[in-house]
Chain A
């Protein structure tokens, strides 16, 4: 979308675009790359002045400490459990709700839909103190099930919004045809609608998984001991391993690895879902 006045302007635009965008990309990657470099240094090299960028020799001391700590034994499995279960539950509930909102109109359906979307505006933060009280009353502190329920409720409104916009694009005639061919409504939903909505469901799953994997505050408040997740574990590392930055950074790399891999693999669906969600407002 550029209106070229001359070859010179075009060349200037091309170069300046790459230089500026390249600068921002560098800004985005620099801390990650430096963290990766630090994670392969040993303790003395981390604490040298002036600091070096590249490790003089690649050592895995930091990773060994992390692998022998609670991080790998408890926190990573906990996070995998919490994120997997809550993402699956959210996608199932949100597709039922999204399907209903696009296929049925009843008195108050629009109001109900808006009310659910309005819940997105309640930040998770302001519910933390009451949730902590509720959890301690129910003796559900340190329970992975309870936090999965909290994550499900927290992610549901956004997931309904995203998944709904995918259902909207599926023509209702397809369903009617299936019903005429003798499918039951549930069969039609499962065998005709769901496969078509699959990219949307995948995107919803991805957004939810990244969100819960990275969630910190609810996990900090509601979980302790061996029930902790990776992010809370990371926070604890900072007090238990004073300034052992090669250990901290090794933990950082392990924690970010799954979501980065997931993001690279599913980036197309990710951007599609983000744009669908971000632009409907």
Chain B
């Protein structure tokens, strides 16, 4: 980009275009102001407010300052620890499955045979569908008595049981499956984008040197797309940790709390039960988990650049 230093002596303003109207010191500020106001009021503000709320307790409309008590309470609750464990299972299986399958689909699409573009469009349908709607559809397919898939499993794979939806492991399986169904499009697209940046000449010369398919993938392609894969793992983890719409609509946390992830715990405590203090404390804990993931990622990216 061309940058022309302003002729007037405004030490720290350098403008891109040389016109009187746009050279005023405050012009860019006015353009940014609306965005900054909205973001401060409804993004930064609420986050700070949740820090404050997490140190209070409200009883019959009276707010008392309780310091870090809410955190101690929550961290000692077996249900919260269980929620963290379930989050790890849910997010972990979601990330592994979407990344591996997404990479597989992208590699196949990248062979660029005729008519494969249509598959990308079809795989994207689930991605534009709301998680509540998607959850309803999957819940219907696994409905214990009338569900199409459940009936098929009962008839053909009886070892898996007749009421998968009502077992703890089965419910988690269904929720993960629905999440993968919705999320696969995203990882596929990101992988495809990354694969298209691998120069074809590098691959051709590797092939001439006698490198086979697998060798080319692990020695040439994988190192090239590794940074993008890392971004994707991070984004997919954040998505899984914070999304709860599917769980609401498929299992509502059940059976017996088997799908109550940390995100579900947060909403149940802070909103359904109206315990703002503890709900906010759970929000802050989740906020720091997200922040930690982001920092790990930035660190890795930094190392990658060196």
Tell me the A residues contacting B by CB distance below 8 Å: 1-3, 13-14, 17-18, 20-22, 24-25, 27-29, 31-32, 34-35, 38, 46-51, 53, 93-94, 96-97, 99-100, 102-107, 109, 112, 116, 119, 121-134, 149-150, 152-154, 156-157, 160, 168, 172-173, 175-176, 179, 184-186, 210, 213-217, 220-221, 230-232, 234-235, 238, 243, 245, 248-249, 252, 255-256, 259-260, 262-264, 267, 271, 274-275, 278-279, 281
Cα-based distance from A21 to B122 in the complex (angstroms): 10
- Which among A50, A106, A234 is the interface contact of B13 at CB below 8 angstroms? A106
- Which among B39, B112, B122, B263 is the interface contact of A125 at CB below 8 angstroms? B263
Chain B min CB distance to A184 (Å):
6
Whether the pair A1, B203 counts as a contact (CB closer than 8 A) is yes
Chain B positions within 8 Å of A271 at CB level: 120, 189
Cα-based distance from A264 to B207 in the complex (angstroms): 38
> Which of chain A's residues has its CB closest to B155's CB?
A50
Question: Interface readout for B216-239 with A: 1 if CB under 8 Å, 0 if not?
Answer: 000000000000100100000010
Given contacts A123-B286, A128-B283, contact A248 B140 (CB under 8 A): yes
Whether the pair B136, A123 counts as a contact (CB closer than 8 A) is no
Task: Report if B141 contacts A (CB, 8 A).
Answer: yes
Given contacts A28-B125, A28-B126, A122-B290, contact A132 B271 (CB under 8 A): yes
Whether the pair B249, A234 counts as a contact (CB closer than 8 A) is yes
Question: Interface readout for B39-56 with A: 1 if CB under 8 Å, 0 if not?
Answer: 101111111011001000
- Which among A46, A156, A232 is the interface contact of B38 at CB below 8 angstroms? A156
Chain B positions within 8 Å of A173 at CB level: 2
8 A Cβ contacts from B1-43 to A: 1-3, 12-19, 21-22, 27-28, 31-32, 34-35, 38-39, 41-43
A-B residue pairs in contact (CB < 8 Å), sample of 23:
A24-B101, A25-B118, A50-B155, A51-B148, A102-B1, A104-B28, A106-B13, A122-B287, A125-B283, A126-B284, A126-B290, A127-B283, A130-B53, A130-B283, A131-B46, A134-B46, A152-B38, A153-B41, A172-B16, A185-B27, A214-B132, A216-B131, A259-B128
Main secondary structure of the interface of A (DSSP, over half): helix
Cα-based distance from A232 to B118 in the complex (angstroms): 32
- Which among B32, B128, B194 is the interface contact of A279 at CB below 8 angstroms? B194
